[in-house]
Chains A and B, each alone.
Chain A
């Protein structure tokens, strides 16, 4: 497979990938409806809103009701995409999601932007780092964290054909757009972005590109890193993890999320029960964030490229 070219990539927002996909879906899927809680512009929904006003519903700043309305709208065959910032679409409305969406097993797509530290200057009140854990604990829930614009767009188009609740998590800033354009998204299937033999890095979201950067830096030291883009957190592609770790013998996970409850825990569960192997987890260390630029925050809170490099070097000593 071709190496990802770190020099040539344009930067785009993952949320724009979501908004562009919704506009395309609106044109071909009459059953799709969109709700937002006063964040239609931030979710890049302007084209959908302009062209399909009859299928767009603003709930105002009232996320609990929005989730309930979305659950009700599934009855009669509509596919509601309920949108907000990740903080307000998970923790704030957990019981509504648990009862009216997950337990009732309704075909609601919860689509959340501004997840994690890279929300930036708004600070810790808005920087949710617990949402992957909250959502993956719920039975019936599918959890997807795409890596870039192209993959967010593809994932958005894929979940419309998946019957059942989905949590789709993306972010605010412009980030490198490196996944192949036009490639369809398969829920539950990981993508090996770079093959290697010494260590497996399993990453999601914005940390996928950081992991590729780390892998290419370590290539200069003759360390062969396999990089897996684990865009579906639940159901987890256990086969892809096991196939890789059987070859490499150790794992690093990388996520823009708390240490507890996220991708690292999910992968650790696979390893401990199926194929014990050393693992290091690159994640936020059980603390809240603060105001700052996305780059400053990722560096300060230990989820930057050097942190992935350090974790790889550490896990190699434990093999």
Chain B
């Protein structure tokens, strides 16, 4: 059983990393990053079976793909805190000659990254392909992926949803960050996603709803439940209701923090709300 307190201490430090990285870069996307901390910490520190000696092929280990690449700060922080590279490198985020590109990239060979993302809507196809190769290779490990909800407006997601169900890709657990916000405003104002649960179900996916994606025990429980549905001929999706900007009171549930970094005062305010548990980079 996972040590919830331990995971929550990691989460607090990851949130500090996120606000400090975006402040340091004077750019980046803190909102979605903060909202997905519990999910990412759960995956990397409890749920996934991964190796810290990184290989691109990732054989005999679980894989993770980030489709909504703009929330790279949370991924970079979790990868560093998990030991894939030095936490000191987090200070280079979005700066010249860095391996920590604004959006995840493979060209700089940052351990943990297996696919470039940023142009939205491509990650579900990629994760599906990686899952197919695991199946062909007789590798029983799983593939996880994370997607924004606004990103589902890209039609390629639904091509991938059709493909994964048709080809019975049942070693894939996709999660949607269902925070209801996108750059221009609430998703139901910009382009209503409708009944996501019914849509994925209609496409042939096993669909789970995670009511509170910022409640660590519930996130863990849902991911563990999802794992029990693998190997049954259907891809699996978790619709995760999370709060953009969670953990920083002036950012939470406000789409304006999608892609704006905190200034000096706002950083100090944010850090005062987040305990330093593992040491800042």
Contact = CB atoms under 8 A, between A and B. Distances in A.
Nearest to B63: A75
Contacts of A95: 119
Contact of A69 (B59, B106, B129): B129
B270 interface: no
B210 to A, nearest CB: 24
A2 interface: no
A65 B163 contact: yes
Nearest to A73: B129
Chain A's interface: helix, strand, loop or mixed, by majority? helix
Contact of B160 (A69, A76, A78, A98): A69
B49 to A, nearest CB: 15
A285 to B, nearest CB: 33
Contacts of A105: 106-107
A70 interface: yes
Contacts of A74: 129, 133
A276 interface: no
A193 interface: no
Contacts of A67: 125
B132 A65 contact: no
A55 B136 contact: yes
A68 interface: yes
Interface stretch (B80-88, B110-118, B193-201): B110-118
Contacts of A71: 115, 125-126, 129
Nearest to B137: A76
A69 to B, nearest CB: 4
Contacts of B105: 103-104
Given A68-B124, A70-B129, A72-B115, 10 more contacts: A62-B159, A62-B163, A64-B156, A65-B163, A68-B160, A73-B132, A75-B56, A77-B57, A96-B156, A99-B118
Interface of A: 33, 54-55, 57, 59-60, 62, 64-78, 80, 95-96, 98-100, 103-106
